A and B are shown apart, each in its own frame.
Chain A
Amino acid sequence: MSDSSAKPVSRRKFLKGLSQGAAAVATAGVAGGAMHAAATKPATESGEKNKVQYGMLIDLRRCIGCQACTVACKAEADVPMGVSRSWVEYVEKGRYPNVGRSFLPRLCNHCSEPHCVRVCPTGATYERPQDGLIVIDQGVCIGCLYCAQACPYDMRFLNPVTRFADKCDMCIHRVSKGLVPSCVNTCQGRARIFGDVNDPGSEIHKLIARNPVAVMRETYGTQPNVYYIGLDTTDENTRKPGQYVRVTTNKARSTKRT
């Protein structure tokens, strides 16, 4: 995935104070130099409070586990066999006759305090200043996978075709043109709501304000921007003795480095 709409120079908050000239010098030696040509500061970057922060709300009461989002993602992003950017986990629990099954759609949380960005040794993983999405500059990434070790949500993988780190990018090619991500577009239950969580007028902002919501693994301090309504935190590892819990991740899996 090439991130053609990003402005990789201005994206770095650290370079905020530098002049454009210095910024151009900064990236002159970088591979994939074409992507580093433009250097303009987006208007949205001023003031953290009014910052655009795209995020997603998933209403688990409406999800039927149809995996249409999984398939849409696979097709949209041309995700190779054996790896997944987005998937839906099945959680089964209880003992007959008191049993339950719930679904847990998973995608990159586009965290506000992303560990993946902190550990990236090249700066290839960065936060887009214009919409707060976390993306990977494929022209800079060296494929070391330090970011994949650091993500508490196991969202990152080595793309077996490009041999660079890869993950959900919230369909930046769609959302920067005003469309919603492909998984949101395809969800028949309208379980997925996409939008700017900081915009008080947006549907997602209102739904987050009016409903009990939760994020995954909040204690890691990553401040995820993917919210869930009706998140069940039952986990195979933390279940009490005698409790039955089975989680099927439905995540494509391959350990091969091709």
Chain B
Amino acid sequence: MEHHLIMWHWPMIVYLFLAGLGAGAMAVSGIVVLWGPTGEFRHRAALIARLGAFIGPLPVIIGTGLLIYELGRPFRALNLFTSNFWFMVLNPSPMNWGSWFILLFCVVATIYALTFIPWKALLSGERGERLEARSERLRAPMATVCVPLAIAMAIYTAILLAAVPARPLWHTPVLWLLFTVSAFSTGLSAIILVQRFMFRKPGAVRGAVRREDPAFRVTEYYLVSMKVLLIIAELVVIGLFIMFAHMTINSANFAVRTLLPGGEMATAFWLGVILVGLLLPAFIEGFYLLRTAVLGHEFEWPYVINVSAPIAILFGGLMLRYVIVVGGQITGPIGI
């Protein structure tokens, strides 16, 4: 009956993507700190934890900045915190308590990232050593806080959309799972991508990590296996998402048709999200994984393929947010 205006544009799409990515990277980092391997793998684990911690807060801060920039009046945005009815600062809108939550996330994530700075190398003398010792003591307790916080952040990006009954594509109980799985896989991919840039050349050495170590390849093997598992999980959740909407007898059923073949978002969804974002990296990485697992080859592959798989996953994550945000807005309630 209506034609629907697209009111949330690319800043919202990029924000949801970046917030998920940051949350995913921080969750991976925290998990590695808390339950990561020791022994010969410990340097490698420390590197992954450090990269995850450094990646964590940045995308969230950039994404939030984008949203505020789009509003056009940066100081007006403070009304989110000051003009409400519960104790003058809170109201039940997900965007309101969400703003407090993002603020908390950014602060905690930044403190967590600070504990990974190599103080000893930066500051000479006693001060550097004191800071380094303190950081090391803080790391594990901070990770305990960060893991649940990051998972909550990933879920929140979906809650923001799912809270609106008037957008049937968003208002489904599967969306949070979809966004959370995607957040983990994009976060992990970002970490892997940065690593692959760092260890581009054969024989590369960073700190205590050498590319030629057997431990390096084994860790790589496990990381990639984890990523492929996440891709499979995401495919299953996307299946659930479509099935749930398709089994519903109401607006959700009509809304999901925009994703199905013939719908307006079908090309972006099937080509961008499913093919490039999920199937392609799953096949490439799956091939090399199986080659190692079944034929016992070295886990080693050409550099171009090496970096293109995580890039494809990141692209797929962005496309997923695009398809959901735009698809939700061009569909709506049916009936009058």
Binding site for B on A (CB under 8 A): 12, 14-15, 25-27, 29-31, 89, 104, 115, 118-124, 140-146, 148-152, 154, 157-158, 163, 216-217, 220, 231-238, 247, 249, 251, 253-255, 257
Extra contacts besides A143-B72, A152-B165, A234-B336 (20): CB < 8 Å: A15-B85, A29-B83, A118-B92, A121-B98, A122-B79, A142-B76, A142-B80, A144-B71, A144-B95, A145-B7, A146-B93, A149-B164, A154-B5, A217-B336, A232-B336, A233-B336, A235-B334, A249-B2, A249-B3, A255-B5
Q: Which of B1, B166, B167 contacts A235 (CB 8 A)?
A: B1
Q: Does B254 lie at the interface of the complex (its beta carbon under 8 Å from any beta carbon of A)?
A: yes
Q: Which of A123, A124, A142, A145 contacts B77 (CB 8 A)?
A: A142
The 5 nearest A-B residue pairs measured at CB: A14-B85, A121-B95, A121-B96, A152-B166, A237-B334
| Closest residue of B by beta carbon distance from A83 | B5
User: Are the C-beta atoms of A148 and B7 separated by less than 8 Å?
Assistant: yes
User: Are the C-beta atoms of B93 and A119 separated by less than 8 Å?
Assistant: yes
Contacts of A163 in B (CB 8 A): 71-73
Query: Contacts A26-B88, A142-B80; is A120 near B7 (CB within 8 Å)?
Result: no
In chain B between 320 and 334, which residues have their CB closer than 8 angstroms to a CB of chain A?
329, 332-334
Looking at the assembled complex, report how far the CB atom of B307 sits from the nearest CB atom of chain A, in whole angstroms: 35
Looking at the assembled complex, report how far the CB atom of A159 sits from the nearest CB atom of chain B, in whole angstroms: 12
User: Are the C-beta atoms of A237 and B254 separated by less than 8 Å?
Assistant: yes
**Complex Cα gap A217–B335 (Å):** 7
User: Are the C-beta atoms of B82 and A29 separated by less than 8 Å?
Assistant: yes
**Complex Cα gap A158–B71 (Å):** 11
Contacts of A29 in B (CB 8 A): 82-83
Majority secondary structure of chain A interface residues (helix, strand, loop or mixed): loop
23 residue pairs of the A-B complex, CB under 8 angstroms, read A14-B86, A15-B85, A31-B75, A31-B76, A119-B94, A140-B79, A142-B73, A142-B76, A142-B79, A142-B80, A150-B166, A163-B72, A220-B165, A231-B336, A234-B336, A235-B1, A237-B254, A237-B335, A249-B1, A251-B2, A253-B5, A255-B5, A255-B6
Contacts of A236 in B (CB 8 A): 1
| Closest residue of A by beta carbon distance from B82 | A29
Query: Contacts A31-B76, A247-B1; is A233 near B335 (CB within 8 Å)?
Result: yes
User: Are the C-beta atoms of A124 and B79 separated by less than 8 Å?
Assistant: yes
Contacts of B78 in A (CB 8 A): 31
Contacts of B9 in A (CB 8 A): 257
Looking at the assembled complex, report how far the CB atom of A128 sits from the nearest CB atom of chain B, in whole angstroms: 15
Contacts of B77 in A (CB 8 A): 142
Contacts of B96 in A (CB 8 A): 121-122
**Complex Cα gap A140–B91 (Å):** 14
Looking at the assembled complex, report how far the CB atom of A61 sits from the nearest CB atom of chain B, in whole angstroms: 17
Looking at the assembled complex, report how far the CB atom of B20 sits from the nearest CB atom of chain A, in whole angstroms: 19
